[in-house]
Amino acid sequence: MRKDMVIFDIETRGLESDGQDSLELAALRIRDGKIQESYHYIKKELGHASLQTNHRQRIMDFFDDTVLISHEISASQSILEREFKVRIQQPIWDTLVLARIFFPTMHHYQLTYLAEKLSLPRIEEKLNSERKAWLIWLVFEACWKKGLEFDLSFFNQANGFLEGWVRDGFFKDLQKEVIQSFPDRPIRTDLVLSPSTEGLFSYAKAPSAVIPQSIDWVVDNFSRGGNLEQNLANYESRPGQVTMARLIAEGLSSSHHVVVEAGTGTGKSFAYLIPSLWSAKKTGKKVVIATHTIPLQEQLQKKDIPVLEAVLPFSFRASVLKGKNNYCCLKKWLLCLGTHEPLGAEHKLSILSMLVWLRETLTGDIQELSKVPGLMEIWPSISADNETCIPGRCSKAGVCFLLRARKKAEESDVLIVNHSLLFSDLKTDYNVLPEYHHLVIDEAHQIYQTALHHLGAELSVEDVTRIIDSIYRPTGLSFYGTIKHRLEALTHMVPSVPWDIFMKRLEGIPEIIGTILVQTKELFELLSMILGVERTFRFVAHHTSSPWWNGLIVQIENLVGRVKALLTTLESLTSALNGEDADEIEELKYTLTNHQRELQELGDTLIQAIDLNNPKQVTWLEQSSRLYLKTSPIEVSEILKDKIFSRLDSVVLTSATLSISSSFDYFLQDIGLPRTTKTAQVDSPFDYERQMQLIVVKKGINVYNSDQEKALELSEFIAEVAERMNGRTLVLFTAHSLLRQTHASLNPVLARKGIETLAQGIHGERSTLIEAFKRNPKSVLLGANSFWEGIDIPGDALSCVIIVKLPFWPPTLPLIEARSEYLKSQGRDPFRDLLLPEAVIRFKQGFGRLIRSRGDRGIVILLDDRVIEKYYGRFFLGSLPIKTHIRGENSLVFRKIEEYTRDLDEELL
């Protein structure tokens, strides 16, 4: 460690007493790893000349000839130089950057969070600069000590990414310390990975052959005085969970399908995990559990499964399997380490973080990594989503993360996947997942939309370019370039291949590629002209008489013809390799097969797009960040019936939102299950009548006003509510345009009240906004679409949910419009059988954002009085777990909010 360092923290803050700003600086001078001297300074009236005359020299002397260290040092440096009129020229090290490198799996890097997770000495008092400087020093020490554990191979690999980096001095000093202190430490020359001394699974208890045979054993776990109550602190037996567990155990044992709507707080994860584990161990038949999102997969794996490993009387094997792009490919990683391409500072930071992470991870799963800046840009180049990958023949097969995950999946009793991987398996005729006989689908209300997404297809210029670039591009990696580079070596390794014929065919690729790219550009220029200024455009039968139709047919046929020409060339390359089985040739064949598959899918999508005679298929254009040509099935119930329900012994479908006014008919019909399917509603254990109020605002928002007028009305209303609720409010929109306009009006109003406004699409991605909202309860969060579900903010941080409008899908959306027409052709009512059920399910999801635990309290406000004025309103209100509501105009609403918050304050006292 360097002899002289200064750890410092500097910050400015407003003083409410007199409206002035203050500055606080704290610094620790470190020599030979020990604190020698401290400096602490507080000053009001920033920019005052006395700062410079009285303290500038003292600070310069204190900082002289040292390395400066701070957390988020660029901001600290800027304040220091501005306020004290000094120029920092010595080396600077940032503990935020160092912590991201040496502790790459942290979720956050705030000092207090790092201190907790690294088990550093706790500082109970409010963090001022003096205490923050002390924490910065402790974090720095932790990074230094972690670095001392590495052998010199780490530094040899890191040095290639440190050249010209302002913080390379830290690594140079650390490397010197390692050489001096550990001269006999071996230097690894290959991959340095986390040692795995165990098999694929480790057992908390010795494997037991005695598995309870009775369903009653499953139920008894959840009953009063049962296994869970005896072994888990704060666990309470819940009648709904008991009922759900019995239904699922019966379905798995008797091989029949079960649909269970489980209200929030039921504990549905345990209610399906314990019966699934019991069934798998008893019968030897694997159970697959499919969740909608990766975060829920993570919750089951890291939170619920470890608990059950500790309390269940038998051992079991449970694992998670994700898509290939979630796993790091070690072969591609080594290529990345050997790259000589210039990288930006953020990309270097990502690679240095991964150097540490790969020494610790057992899974190679990107979800473990903190999303440091630059990571997502480089991840595609090192992920296992690789068309040339043949795991069994790869030189890294013995340590391959993807292969290990697949082997664990094969050997698991219970396998946890997400909906996306489940449908990838169906789409590839069951070539992704291992054989299984039982399936549990959590968040099952999403299954129809997921099916539509995965069984459809979409194309953009960028999609076509990606497929083509992987085959040939003038610069950068491609199949063509790799073959040319390896030709001499391949000729010597496998001389029996007619390489002269192979290369002659290969040389025809660049010309064909050029014509495909030109034709693609022309096609999408025509599609853009057809779309015009609209966001979507659906192709229908009468368009065949439009003046542009023949031109579109010609464009697509020309592009399909050129794709077929390239496909034929690749097939001829494969034929030249036939009869050879050397590893290098097998790898080439595998690569060619994958390119041919992608080209075939591209051609099929284009042909399908101009087939307007299939009443169960829809094609449309959609402009978002780019222009897409999309195609999708309209009706998937027969597909789901054939590929899931008829094939498996039993399927369990569960969610908090499946029924409409206590009826499952819509859901069952949608997914292809008969009405005789076993269904049940399991009530939430929460007391909604006591924990919350539902308020319907009469004449809330004038639907006939322009969006700008609506935004002004909304911003005034939200500001009034937010002030009374002291922030803590989530506002759910059905349209992004209205959200943005409302934010523009609302933000300055709330800022004057000291309330922060956070808005989807303006202040970052969803996870970032939710974390910001949790950290600062005195805020209002505006969200649309994805914010209606999957948000879990228990406690006081969220006390009010405002629903702007009943969430009907616009009937003009291409897929909704096509599904509506199909239902009409079947003699059914699109509003009753599609638009209304979809809206009710989404409404229930939005309503469910408020009460997430027994201790939650709050208010849901609906600004759409159609729920009390229209006949269909009863379906919305009748589907909620609360049976009473208040209705009135704005003045009554504000008064009720004030009464509610006052009563809540008294209750808390």
Q: How many CB atoms lie within 10 A of CB 380?
A: 11
Burial class (CB in 10 A: 0-12, 13-18, 19+), 36: exposed
Q: What is the model's pLDDT at position 216?
A: 95
More confident call, 339 vs 788:
788
Q: Return the H-helix or E-strand segment holding 10.
A: strand 4-14
Q: 326 and 367 in contact (C-beta within 8 Å)?
A: yes
Q: How far is CA 525 from CA 460, 522, 612, in A?
A: 11, 5, 21
pLDDT computed for residue 219 by the predictor? 95
**DSSP conformation class of 650:** E
* H or E, element range at 30: strand 21-31
Q: What is the pLDDT of residue 849?
A: 93
Contact 121, 112 (CB under 8 A): no
pLDDT in tens, 777-821: 899 999 998 899 888 888 888 999 999 999 999 999 999 999 999
Share the mean pLDDT of the chain: 88
- pLDDT surpassing 70 at residue 762: yes
Q: Give the C-alpha separation, 671 to 714, whole Å.
A: 38
Plot region of 824 (φ>0 → left; ψ -120 to 50 → alpha; else → beta): alpha
Q: Is the pLDDT of residue 668 over 90?
A: yes
Q: Which residues have C-beta within 8 Å of that of residue 506, sequence separation ≥ 6? A: 480, 483, 484, 573
In this predicted structure, what is the pLDDT of residue 907? 64
Nearest to 639 by CA among 647, 629, 627: 647
* pLDDT per position as a tens digit, 47-97: 555 545 567 778 888 888 889 999 988 888 888 888 777 788 888 899 999
What does the pLDDT read at residue 168? Answer: 75
3-state secondary structure of 328: strand
pLDDT over 90 (residue 763): no
Distance, in Å, from the CA atom of 594 to the CA atom of 841, rounded to the nearest integer, reads 40
Q: Point out the least confidently predicted range of 195-204, 362-371, 473-482.
A: 195-204
Q: What is the pLDDT of residue 18?
A: 44
If DSSP states are collapsed to H, E and C, what string results for 747-779?
HHHHHHCCCEEEECCCCCCHHHHHHHHHHCCCE
- Report the Cα 200 to chain-centroid distance in Å: 26
CA 318 – CA 660 distance, rounded (Å):
34
Per-residue confidence (pLDDT) for residue 906, from 0 to 100: 66
Tell me what pLDDT residue 16 has: 40
pLDDT number for residue 113: 85
**Where is 473: in which H helix or E strand?**
none
Structure tokens belonging to residue 24: 């606080």
How high is the pLDDT of residue 586? 83
Tokens of 216: 């009653």
Inter-residue contact 581 to 513 (CB < 8 Å): no
Q: How far apart, in whole angstroms, are the C-alpha atoms of residue 817 and residue 48?
A: 66
Residues 280-316: pLDDT tens digits?
999 999 999 999 988 889 889 999 999 999 999 999 9
Q: Which residues contact 217 (CB under 8 A, 6 or more apart)?
A: 278
Answer positive or negative: Cα dihedral of 648, 652, 653, 659. Answer: positive
- What string of DSSP letters covers 677-693? SEEEEE--SS-HHHHEE
User: Which amino acid is located at 675 in the chain?
Assistant: R
What are the tens digits of pLDDT across the range 551-569? 999 999 999 999 999 999 9
CA angle 534, 539, 542 (to 5 degrees): 115
Q: Distance between CA atoms of 720 and 742, rounded to whole angstroms? A: 14
- Pair 793, 852: CB distance under 8 Å: yes
Q: Identify the pLDDT of residue 15.
A: 42
DSSP state letter for 385: -
pLDDT score of 20 more than 80 = no
Question: How many separate helices (H) and strands (E) can be counted in the chain?
Answer: 37, 23
Size of the chain in residues: 909
Both tokens of 109, joined, read 């890097």
pLDDT at 249: 97
Assess contact for 605 and 435: CB atoms under 8 A: no
CB 4 within 8 A of CB 30: yes
8 Å CB contact between 722 and 743 = no
Q: What DSSP line would sit under 85-146, residue for residue?
A: T----S-EEEHHHHHHHHSTT-S---HHHHHHHTTPPP--S---HHHHHHHHHHHHHHHHHH
Mean pLDDT of 264-288: 95
- Residue 489's identity, in one-letter code, is A
pTM, two decimal places: 0.88
